[in-house]
Structure formats: C-alpha cells, structure tokens
Structure 1
Amino acid sequence: MFPPITDWDAAYDNAPAIPDGASWPGRWIEPARDFRQAMMAQGRARLDLAYGPGARNRLDLFLPKGTPKGLVVFVHGGFWMALDRSFWSHLAAGPLAHGYAVAIPEYTLCPQIRIAGITTETGAAITAAAAMVAGPLRLAGHSAGGHLVTRMVSATSPLGAGLRDRIAGVMSISGLHDLRPLRATWRQATLSIDAAEALSESPALLEPLPGTRLTCWAGARETSEFLRQNALLANIWRGLGAATAVVEEPDRHHFDIIDGLADPDHPMIRALLA
C-alpha cells in the first residue's frame, strides 16, 4: 500500500532532492549562450522572432545545414511561472545533427496569465514556427513544457486541423499531466489553478487526438510524483488508442534528464525522431 502524500511541496520540489540542486537552472546559461553565438556565427540562427503581441511571445529558430527534414519544437518548463527560451538553446544540437530545424519559444508567465492562456500561446508559437519550416513536426517539452506539448495533441488542442496532421510524435520529458495535485503546493499562490481549469487543462483528463504517438520520459532519480505523472499519461492514453511509451532513464534527475536532447546519439533523440 502506498501511504498518502502529506507534504505536497516536497513531492514537487526537485532541487532539494538533488545534490547541488540549487545550481540549476544556472548550469544551462553558459552552454546555451555559447551555442547561440556559434549558430549566429554560422548564419543558422534566427533569434527573437515574434509569434504574437505579448512581450514574451518570442521564439528562436535554429537551422540545420541544408534543407530541414522537418521541425522540432522544444517548450521549456519552470512550472509556468519562471525561465525563458535563453536557457535551452544548446538542446537544439541533437535534432540539428539529424537535419531537423529546432524552434524554442517562450510564453507569458503566471500570474500575468492563466495556464489555459499559456496553452493558447504555445499553440500560436508552434503555428508560427511550423509556417517557417516544412515537413513533419515533432514536439518536446520539459516539466511544465511536457504539459504544454501534450495539450497540443489533446482533444481540445489549440492547433488547426492541418497542423495537427503534421505532428509525427510528442515527447513529454518529466511532464506534468494532471494539474490537480499542484493546487496543494506553494506554487498555487502564483498559479491560481481552480477546479475547472485543473479539469480542462490536464492532458491526463482529456482524450488524445487520433493517431497520437507519445513518449513519456523521466529520470529514475526524480521525485515519486514526477515518476507517477510520467507513467500516468502514457497509461491512460494507451487505453484511449494512442501509441505510447514510458522511459525512466537510470541515474538521471529532473534537471540533467534533458541533456539527452543535446546529444545526437542519445536514445532520447532516436525516440524523438523515430
């Protein structure tokens, strides 16, 4: 029998459970900056592209050598209330090596917007990026970004029908797929998730779009709630007709789990582009 959770903050706070956990997200700043500079020097970076009217409605687009085979969109995390696109540029290296363009958007943060509004903005960002690059579309997101990319293939997706048909696969990395437990954490003071939004914005409580192919990937050293959330969506959506897979990568935690995206030979990249 699993005991009830009494400390919801600890269940969703990753840094205290990781040695030197406070060093993230700072560890990503330098490699991301160096990667952008190298891509700009090669003429393969299009930065600060607007996809909407908001101050944070911006994305960066990185281009491979030659004609892109398709587009990968990476949506960042931060519990819908922190971080921006500048932390993640280096994660484009893996897909780029395989000939895919990579778009990395950012979005308005809570409490200036509700999570439902971030879903709408993410749809607008993907729509804008997809108009710049032809071919199949693959979505990846980390933590809250995992929530956002799986919302794109939920029944109430903000994406248009033609764009939905281009989505070849979705990868939720340490994703949050049921928002209801988060209402019991300290972040609720900023997120203000009400009961109705928890139901309408939780991918685990929605049906997947027909033909959805989903991989839920997490680090084996994550908190029990992130591991549960990782397996939860793949389990439910498989029962609703989606093709799903669950991976718990050994010796990885909530922050270093995304390193796989930067490595062209990592199994995470092979799964994303399969």
Structure 2
Amino acid sequence: MRRETERFWNSQLENAVTVPDFAAWQDRHEALSALADALGRPERISTGPEDLQAVWHTKLGRNTHALVFVHGGYWRRFSADNFVFVAETAAASNASFFNVDYRLMPETRMADVIDDVVRGCEVALQRSDTVVVVGHSAGAHLAVEAALRMTRPPDAVIAISGIFDLDPLRYAFIQAELCLTPSEVQEFSPLHRADTLDCPLHLRTGASETVEFRRQSARMYEAVIESGGEATIEFMDNHHHSSIVAELADPGSVLSHLVQNILA
C-alpha cells in the first residue's frame, strides 16, 4: 500500500516526469538567462558566511522599487543564476532586481533555508520603499514564508506554482532527499498560518499542471480569503510547471504585466 501511495504522489509532484520535455525547459531557462545577462552585471550582497547565502542585485530602474525573486528546485537544487531571465520583468517595471540565493537541503534544514530567504528579502526592504516578492515552485513557498517573517511585509507576494502544505511531500520521491519531519511540515506549511499574512497574495498556476499543484494554490487562496486577507488566483491556460515561470522573461506576457502593474 505504501508503494501505491508513493506512486500516486509522485504522479502529482515529480515535475521531471509530469512536465513534457522537462530537460529542454531547463535548457530554455538557461538560454533566457544568458540573454538577460546583457542587462548588467549584478552586485553580490552577502547574507551569511556560505557561498549560497547571498542576494544578487542589479539596478535596472528606480531604487525605490524592487522585484525580489526566489527560485525553486524543491529546496535542494538550482541557484539564482538559473533564473536571471526574471530581470527582464524588473527592467520593464523600472525597478531594481534582487535575485535570492539560499543554502540547499538536505545539507541544511528548512528553517535555515527560510532564514536565508528572509535575509535576502530584507536587503531589498532596506534599500527600497516598494517591494514585490515573486517565487516559483519551492520558491513560491519560500516567498510566502519570508513574507510571514520579514520586519515589514512586502507590498505583494506573487506565488507561481507553489506548495503551501508540505505534508504530501513526505509520501513522495522527494522525501528521500529532504527527510522532512512532522514538526517541519507543521511549522513551515504556510497554509496553516494564512491568517497571519499581512500583504496581498497573487497565486498563479499553470492550467496544465497536475491536480495537486492546482489544489495547493486553490487551498492557499481559500485560506487567505476565509481569514479576511487579500488574494487573487488564476490558472493560466497553455502553461505547465516549467513554462509558466518563463513568462517573466517576456515583458509583454500576462504574468510580467501583473508584476509591472503592482510596481507601477
């Protein structure tokens, strides 16, 4: 029975299997990031003693306005460098860009990962008046967790294809790497603390994503609204887990326009 349970959750959460041409999309993200390098060389700002404790700042517009991006990778892979293409949306928003790196699991625990992201977001808060935090996949989870802990909430969080209830992960392939404990699941599932979120939350998920990814966003939306908070949700047509974030490389896209309108 346990094997059947794991097979089910893998069918919902293992993007390398469920996303068509997953490896090709990783290559596309890297190619888009290489193009975005032309926008300027970022400044590395340390947020701790280790290499991945850093935020990369590129001045692309007003110092008063900032787009902060938190990458995904199931908390255990990728780096800010893989998602430099998000700078295209920052430039179109006439805003500074802060691309957050963080230590990876399982070498560090979830509490430390979240602390790294909070520190990166705080750098933007110290330098800018208006701050929008955008996260994709695990980065969407981290963006919300950071917003719950920052010294002042950001002006908005845009959570793309996020996971907000960590419990299903304990029954899927990823648990072998993350080794999530019951206490970590309880403490770091923002779904359970939606009533304490003090900023607007904009949830966006691909309409072609698995039921579980769509359910996660729907439940988070319901939890925020039921607690009297402000949230929007949209299931974006013709997008899956890897294609949706690539919209941020295109200033003319719907997702990029969402960011631009908030930072206007």
Q: TM-score, normalised by structure 1?
A: 0.88
Of 206, 228, 247, 1:219 maps to 206
Q: Does 1:82 align with 2:59?
A: no
Closer, same or farther: CA 110–201 of 1 in aligned 2, 3 Å = same
Closer, same or farther: CA 210–107 of 1 in aligned 2, 3 Å = closer
8 Å Cα contact 1:200-1:206 kept in structure 2: no
8 Å Cα contact 2:53-2:116 kept in structure 1: yes
- For residues 86 and 95 of structure 1, the distance between their equivalents in structure 2, rounded to whole angstroms, comes to 15
8 Å Cα contact 1:77-1:142 kept in structure 2: yes
Equivalent residue number for residue 146 of structure 2:
152
Of 227, 230, 252, 1:243 maps to 230
Equivalent residue number for residue 192 of structure 1:
179
Aligned residue for 1:68, secondary structure, equals strand
Equivalent residue number for residue 27 of structure 1:
28
Of 50, 55, 61, 1:59 maps to 55
What code does the residue aligned with 2:79 have? D
Q: Does 1:259 align with 2:258?
A: no
Aligned residue for 1:113, secondary structure, equals coil
- For residues 237 and 201 of structure 1, the distance between their equivalents in structure 2, rounded to whole angstroms, comes to 16
Equivalent residue number for residue 13 of structure 1:
14
- For residues 271 and 106 of structure 1, the distance between their equivalents in structure 2, rounded to whole angstroms, comes to 23
Identical residues among aligned pairs (%):
26
- For residues 98 and 205 of structure 2, the distance between their equivalents in structure 1, rounded to whole angstroms, comes to 22
- For residues 162 and 24 of structure 2, the distance between their equivalents in structure 1, rounded to whole angstroms, comes to 21
Closer, same or farther: CA 112–134 of 1 in aligned 2, 3 Å = same
Of 120, 126, 132, 1:138 maps to 132
Bigger helix share: 2
Equivalent residue number for residue 112 of structure 1:
107
What code does the residue aligned with 1:23 have? A
Give the C-alpha shift of residue 210 in structure 1. Answer: 5.6
Aligned residue for 2:42, secondary structure, equals strand
Any unmatched runs of 5+ in structure 1? Answer: none
8 Å Cα contact 1:69-1:99 kept in structure 2: no
Mean Cα deviation higher: 26-35 or 68-77: 26-35
Give the C-alpha shift of residue 12 in structure 1. Answer: 0.1
8 Å Cα contact 1:147-1:176 kept in structure 2: yes
Give the C-alpha shift of residue 271 in structure 1. Answer: 2.4
Aligned residue for 1:87, secondary structure, equals helix
8 Å Cα contact 2:121-2:146 kept in structure 1: no
Over aligned residues, Cα RMSD in angstroms? 1.8
8 Å Cα contact 2:79-2:101 kept in structure 1: yes
Aligned residue for 1:207, secondary structure, equals helix
Give the C-alpha shift of residue 69 in structure 1. Answer: 4.2
Aligned structure 1 segments of 4 or more residues deviating by more than 6 angstroms: none
- For residues 36 and 90 of structure 2, the distance between their equivalents in structure 1, rounded to whole angstroms, comes to 14
8 Å Cα contact 2:7-2:172 kept in structure 1: no
Give the C-alpha shift of residue 5 in structure 1. Answer: 8.5
Equivalent residue number for residue 42 of structure 2:
46
